[in-house]
């Protein structure tokens, strides 16, 4: 079973309206991913029963809705996923780590918004927990659509040459 999710797949899922339960292990309440649950728990906390982890976080995991753990660089969240899966081998929950962590997420958003005049505003909204989930989905979907070449541009776009 895959235990990590790359940033591109996560953002594509958000743009399509897929549901994720995101837990930000950095404890940064102001700069957590929109819709994330920021917590200061260490990765070791995830070596417990799934019910205990949910009680400590104050959330319920749902089968079919991936739980995405995020940390600064991805190493801590990957460790947490490994510990959780080792303890809860028969869990109905999908728990994955965001590859590269928040650094990879911010770098991807920065590349997407490079050409926009209001880049700082985009970046602030896409890395602020107070951004409502529907606004976050709309922003990601619009950025996703803008990066695709349209009509005749597709024929001449360098990405279509290979």
For residue 78, give the CATH number of its domain. 3.40.250.10
Residue numbers of the domain that contains 61: 4-160
Could you read off the pLDDT of 72-108 as tens digits, one per residue?
A: 888 888 998 999 999 888 889 999 999 998 888 888 8
The more confidently predicted of residues 152 and 31 is: 31
> Number of structural domains, the chain?
1
Q: Is pLDDT at 41 greater than 70 in this prediction?
A: yes
Question: d(Cα 6, Cα 101) in Å, to the nearest integer?
Answer: 9
Q: Write out 72-107 in H/E/C secondary structure.
A: CCCHHHHHHHHHHHHHCCCCCCCEEEECCHHHHHHH
Q: Where are the beta strands (DSSP E) in the chain?
A: 4-5, 21-24, 37-38, 67-70, 95-98
Give which of 79, 77, 93 is closest to 33, Cα–Cα.
77
**Residue 20 pLDDT greater than 70, yes or no:** yes
Percent of the chain whose predicted confidence (pLDDT) is above 70: 81
Name the band, by pLDDT with cuts 50, 70 and 90, for residue 58. Answer: confident
Report d(CA 32, CA 38) in Å as an integer.
6
* pLDDT of res. 62: 92
Q: What is the mean pLDDT of residues 8-18?
A: 87
What pTM was estimated for this model as a whole? 0.76
State yes or no: pLDDT of 153 exceeds 50: no
Closest residue by Cα to residue 85 from 73, 70, 67, 105: 67
- Give me the half-sphere count of Cα atoms (radius 13 Å) on the Cβ side of residue 38: 15
Handedness of CA 67, 71, 76, 78 (dihedral sign): positive
Nearest to 6 by CA among 138, 100, 118, 117: 100
Query: Which residue, 18, 3, 46, 58, is CA-closest to 144?
Result: 18
Residue of 101, 57, 76, 22 whose CA lies nearest to 49:
57
């Amino acid at each position: 079973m895959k235990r990590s999710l790359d940033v591109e797949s996560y953002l594509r899922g958000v743009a399509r309206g897929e549901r994720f339960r995101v837990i930000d292990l950095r404890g940064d309440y102001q700069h957590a991913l929109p819709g994330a649950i920021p917590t200061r728990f260490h990765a070791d906390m995830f070596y417990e029963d799934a019910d205990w982890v949910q009680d400590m976080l104050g959330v319920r995991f749902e089968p079919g809705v991936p739980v995405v753990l995020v940390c600064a660089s991805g190493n801590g969240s990957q460790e947490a996923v490994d510990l959780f899966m080792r303890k809860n081998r028969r869990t109905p929950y999908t728990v994955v780590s965001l590859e590269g962590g928040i650094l990879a997420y911010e770098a991807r958003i920065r590349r997407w918004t490079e050409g926009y005049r209001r880049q700082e505003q985009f970046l602030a909204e896409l890395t602020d927990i107070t951004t409502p989930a529907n606004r976050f989905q709309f922003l990601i979907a619009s950025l996703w659509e803008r990066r695709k070449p349209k009509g005749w541009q597709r024929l001449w776009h360098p990405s279509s040459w290979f």
